[in-house]
Structure formats: C-alpha cells, structure tokens
Amino acid sequence: MIGCRKSTCQVLRIIATIVCLTATVVAKVPNPNYADALTKSILFFEGQRSGKLHSNQRATWRKDSALHDGADKGVDLVGGYYDAGDNIKFHFPMAFTTTMLAWSVEQFKNTMGSDLQHAMEAIRWSTDYFLKATNIPNVVFAQVGNAEADHNCWERPEDMDTPRTTFAVTAQAPGSEVSAEIAAALAAASVVFKPSYPAYSKLLANRAVQVFEFADKYRGSYNDSIGPWVCPFYCNYNGYNDELLWAAAWLLKATRKPIYWNYVKQNIINFKSDIESGLSEFGWDAKHAGINVLISKFVLDNPSNANPFLPYADTFVCSVLPESPTNTVRYTPGGLMYKAGICNMQNPTALSFLLLTYARYMKSRVIRCGNVDVTQKMLIRFARSQVNYILGRNPMNMSYMVGYGTKFPQRIHHRGSSLPSIDQYPEKIGCKEGTPYFLSESSNPNLHIGAVVGGPDIKDYFADSRLSSSQSEPATYVNAPLVGLLAYFKAHP
C-alpha cells in the first residue's frame, strides 16, 4: 500500500476486512448437512396443514383445524395448506407450491431416499384438496378465509373464529392465473404419481385438462373477480398469460399430446411482450423463467424448436449470475440474491432451482453471457452458494431454517408456532388474547422445524423478531423448490 492515496488505502482495508470476515464465516460453520436439511424442509409442510390431520402427523404441536371449510358454499374444502404464518388458504400460492414440490420430486426423487415418501405425502395433501376445489365444472375455488379479519387476529389455527368465507372464480367472474396454476399443479403431480399410482395420476391429469380449458376459455384476472379479498396479499401483478403457458407446458409433460406443444409454440409468440418483460422472474406470481427452463428439456435435442425457448432461458441465466455482464439481480455483501419486498428468500430458492435444473438439462452446452462463458458447473456452483447461505454460511453465521444447525431464528412470525400448543394450553386463545405472545420477546414455544424465513436485509442483517414479518415469516413456496435443491446436493456434497 506504499504510496497509495488515503481513499485507496481505505478501500483496500475494507476489502481485506471483508475477506477476513468471509474466512471467519467459513471457519465457524461446518459443511452443510444437506440430508438433515432435506428431511426438515419436508417436515415443515406438516406444520402448515389445514384440516383433519393423519395419525402419523409428525409435527405433533399442530392439531385439526378448519373442519368446516366450504360449508358456506355447500362444498367440502377441508384440507390444503396455510400459505405462511397466517390461517388463510390462498390457492394461487398453494398451487405454485404444489407445482414446485412436484417438480422437485420429478427431478430428484432418486436421491431423496426415505424422504421421498414424505415428499409424496406433502404433494398429495395438496392435490387431494385441489380435486375438491375444482370438482364443479366451470367453477374454481380460489381462497378460503377472510384475510383482513384473519390478519387482525393472532390465534392458533385450531382456535380461529374469523370468517371462513369461500371465494370462487367462474365463467362470469374468471380467474385465469389461479385456475391455470392449479392446472399446472395437478399436471405436475400426475407426472410424479404415474409410476406408483397410475389411476390417481390419470385422475389428476384429466382434471388438469378440464381446469386448463376453463382458464383458457374464460380469460380474466382474479384481481377483477375477487380482488378485494385476495389483494394486497396475493394480487396478480404479472398478468395471467404466463400461467396459461406454464400450465400448457406441464400438460405437455404430463400427456405428451401435440395440442399442448402447439399451444405453447403459438402463444409464446402471442404473449411475447409479457414473457420478455419478465425473463428473470420466477415465483408464485411470475412463471416466465420457469416456462423456458421447463420447455428447454423438450427442445435441447431438437434445434429446429429451440427458438425462442433456449434464447429466453439463456437470457434468464445471464440476468442472474453475478459474474455475467448483463446481470440485473442485486446481491447482499455476503452473496445472497436479494429483491426488496416481502419474503426475499423465495427468490434464492426458486431461481436457484431453475438454474440447477437448467444445468442438468444443458449438460455440456455452454451459454455465452457477453464475454463470459457459462458452464453447467458454474450454474451448479452458484445454486450451491445460495443453499449454503441459507444453511448458515453467511455473515450472521446463522441458519435461516428453523431447527437446522445450532443458531437459527427463534421468534418466527407464525401464529401456530408462537402460541402454546393445545397439548400445553387446551383453553381457547381468542383473537386478541394472542397479542401478548405476538409482542413477546420470548422464543416461540413450538419449534416449526424446517421453516425457512424471509431472511436478512440487503446488508445481511437479520432481526430475529416476530414483528418483522418480511424477515421472520416462513412460506410454503420458499420451501418447495428448496426440497429439490437439497435432494440434489445431498447426493453431490
């Protein structure tokens, strides 16, 4: 540093400090135990179950809840999942969760070992429910529960007394995004169940076809149909064209029928502006990148069908990788993918799943990002870095999965976890009676094992506080793609 300007020396000292901190992180945190994390990531879904629980329920702090859902419409809608730390069943993110759980199993079932059965049960808990939600022709039930009333209370799902209002989309009041995502979930699950439960697989595929036809024929957003009840919680901000393509792509995979290949080829052109506006987006609201990665499996061996799917998928890769000159994604100093908003951790898990999956599809193919050649190994290495960050290799030396490692979130924003279980406190806890537990600085009495929270801020800092829902609330759509990532890295440590 001899002869350098003061500002330059300061920069070099900062760099040196960062290097030392990084070394400290690696030194303090042992190699990730992907097998343990996989088991726990699947167990999480049992803590999110709604309805009548099975006798083999492992998350024993949870009990039966919402046993009369659908009664206000004269239908049976008991079951399904609560999306996050509340007690509402939002079908749009629930369906995406199901699709990603199914894709995780479809891709990585051979490395799941004894966890495979539990993963299949997690999928079926959802698909059994969606069969109920789509049982009436030209009607798709899209939500159960009054979100405003629910979010005004802090009570266990077993105690909730807020309105369990049922909301549906119909031919007269359509909801193409939620309907198409449910179709995608049913189609993806049919692929998973086909080898071992062919009759159930066929039932799922047939229902997926019916629901997709409804979504496509009666086009419209559920924002306009039931918006006052789904917004601002799960508004659709990206339109419904991506969900229609996504569902068709999964139906192609499930049925191998040319009609779906023709639909995808034609509408990738018709929806061009929508797709190109979100090539780096993937999550419960945006399926753009996922469509192209999923379809790439079909076209990599057939160059005549490569356009525009492979170019779009490559653009996605180049927009995410930090070493790419066309990168558009922000990262924390510790290396975590970051997008401002509620529950950032859905971005690292979902996008990393796509990168890992695309890497396995592309094999020896090289992607050109400006002057950087991107290989399969680079994509896998990046996905591993995001998973390792979640499991503790980060500046906080903290696992963001509850119950994994020695240091993890203790005060997650989750009603059932933060209130004493019925086993410990059998008396009813009313709407506002749970508020002292919400405000308490004590650790949650029920360990929601496997729950991955929203995570740190842009500076890698995590406030372990129930009050900070964006950081401390878990969600099913965070864990679903993580299941596949962990299954792969378990076999490739």
Six-digit token string for 307? 């356009």
Whether residue 16 contacts residue 8, with contact meaning beta carbons closer than 8 Å, is answered with no
Name the DSSP class of 116. H
Whether residue 111 contacts residue 47, with contact meaning beta carbons closer than 8 Å, is answered with no
Catalytic one of 288, 413, 414, 448: 413
CA trace torsion 239, 243, 244, 249 (10° rounding): 150
Q: Does residue 232 have a cis bond before it (omega within 30 degrees)?
A: yes
Report, in angstroms and rounded to the nearest whole number, the Rg of the chain calculated over CA atoms.
22
Six-digit token string for 384? 């591993």
SS3 label, residue 373: strand
Six-digit token string for 423? 């086993």
Whether residue 355 contacts residue 317, with contact meaning beta carbons closer than 8 Å, is answered with yes
**Alpha-carbon distance 152 to 435, whole Å?**
10
**Alpha-carbon distance 170 to 153, whole Å?**
30
442: left (phi over 0), alpha (psi -120 to 50) or beta: beta
Q: Which residue type occupies 175?
A: G
Query: Where do runs of H (alpha helix) occur along 29-90?
Result: 34-43
Sign of the Cα pseudo-torsion (423, 428, 430, 433, in order): negative
Residue 327's Cβ-count burial label (10 Å; 0-12, 13-18, 19+) is: middle
Concerning whether 413 is annotated as a catalytic residue, the answer is yes
Q: Does residue 195 have a cis bond before it (omega within 30 degrees)?
A: no
φ and ψ at residue 338, rounded to 5 degrees: -140, 130
- Annotated catalytic residues are 413
